[in-house]
C-alpha cells in the first residue's frame, strides 16, 4: 500500500504516470471501438493497457489508468460517474499488479500455461472489480441499470484484456523490461 503514494515522490514515476495516462486516453481516440450492439455494447482495444501496464509498472500505471480514464471523459463525457471511473480504472490496473506479483516471483516471463492462467485470473478479477465500481457509481445517479452496466463493462474489459493482453505480454514484456522502468518494490 505504501508504494501507491510513494510513486508521487519520484520524477521517473511521475513521467510514467503521465505517459501511461496519455497512451490510455490517446488510444481511445484513433483505435475505434468494436460495436456489438451500437450505442450499448462495444469492445475497446485500449482496455488492454491498464492490465499490462499495471503488471509492468505497478502503482504508477494504476494512477495512469485512473487519470487516463478521466482525461478520456474530458472528450465530452464528464459526469459525476467520472469519479467512479477514476477509482474503477485505478483498481483495474492495480489488481493485476497485486495478483501477478503474488503468483509470479523471480521467474522469466515467457507466458507459459501457468503464467497465462495467472494472467487470465488477473484480467477476470480486475474486470469484475472495475465493473462493480463503475456500475455502482452509475446506478447511484440512475445513469444506467446496475445489472446491465455490470455485465457490459465486465465483458468489455475481460475479453479485450485477455485476448490482446496475452499476445502483448509475450511480445513486449522482455523488450520493455530492458527499459529499466519496471516497478521494483521498495
The footprint of another protein (CB under 8 A) covers 8-12, 14-23, 25-27, 29-32, 34, 36, 39-40, 43, 45, 48, 63-64, 67-68, 71, 73-82, 141-145, 147-148, 159-160, 163-164, 167-168, 171-172, 175-176, 179, 181
Our CB check for another protein shows the closer of 11 and 106 to be 11
Distances (CA, A) of 148 to 40, 92, 134, 135, 152: 10, 19, 12, 8, 6
Closest CA to 122 of 46, 51, 71: 51
Instruction: Cell numbers for 116, please give them.
Output: 497465462
Our CB check for another protein shows the closer of 39 and 186 to be 39
Our CB check for another protein shows the closer of 105 and 175 to be 175
Our CB check for another protein shows the closer of 14 and 87 to be 14
Our CB check for another protein shows the closer of 16 and 122 to be 16
User: Least distance to another protein from the beta carbon of 91, Å?
Assistant: 19
Burial of 99 (0-12, 13-18, 19+ CB in 10 A): buried
Burial of 5 (0-12, 13-18, 19+ CB in 10 A): exposed
User: Least distance to another protein from the beta carbon of 98, Å?
Assistant: 22
Rounded CA-CA distance 26/31 in Å is: 9
Rounded CA-CA distance 127/159 in Å is: 9
User: Least distance to another protein from the beta carbon of 35, Å?
Assistant: 10
User: Least distance to another protein from the beta carbon of 89, Å?
Assistant: 13
User: Least distance to another protein from the beta carbon of 155, Å?
Assistant: 11
Rounded CA-CA distance 58/75 in Å is: 27
DSSP string for 27-39: HHTTS--EEEETT
Amino acid at each position: 500500500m505504501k508504494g501507491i503514494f510513494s510513486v508521487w515522490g519520484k520524477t521517473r514515476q511521475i513521467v510514467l504516470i503521465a505517459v501511461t495516462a496519455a497512451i490510455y486516453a490517446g488510444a481511445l481516440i484513433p483505435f475505434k471501438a468494436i460495436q456489438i450492439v451500437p450505442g450499448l455494447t462495444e469492445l475497446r482495444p485500449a482496455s488492454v493497457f491498464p492490465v499490462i501496464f499495471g503488471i509492468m509498472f505497478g502503482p504508477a500505471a494504476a494512477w495512469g489508468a485512473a487519470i487516463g480514464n478521466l482525461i478520456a471523459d474530458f472528450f465530452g463525457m464528464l459526469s459525476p460517474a467520472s469519479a467512479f471511473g477514476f477509482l474503477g480504472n485505478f483498481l483495474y490496473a492495480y489488481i493485476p499488479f497485486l495478483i501477478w506479483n503474488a503468483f509470479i516471483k523471480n521467474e522469466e516471463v515467457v507466458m507459459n500455461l501457468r503464467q497465462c492462467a495467472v494472467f487470465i485470473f488477473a484480467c477476470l478479477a480486475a474486470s469484475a472489480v472495475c465493473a462493480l465500481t463503475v456500475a455502482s457509481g452509475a446506478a447511484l445517479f440512475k445513469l444506467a441499470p446496475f445489472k446491465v452496466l455490470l455485465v457490459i463493462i465486465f465483458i468489455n474489459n475481460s475479453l479485450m484484456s485477455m485476448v490482446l493482453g496475452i499476445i502483448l505480454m509475450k511480445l513486449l514484456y522482455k523488450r520493455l523490461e530492458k527499459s529499466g522502468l519496471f516497478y521494483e518494490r521498495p
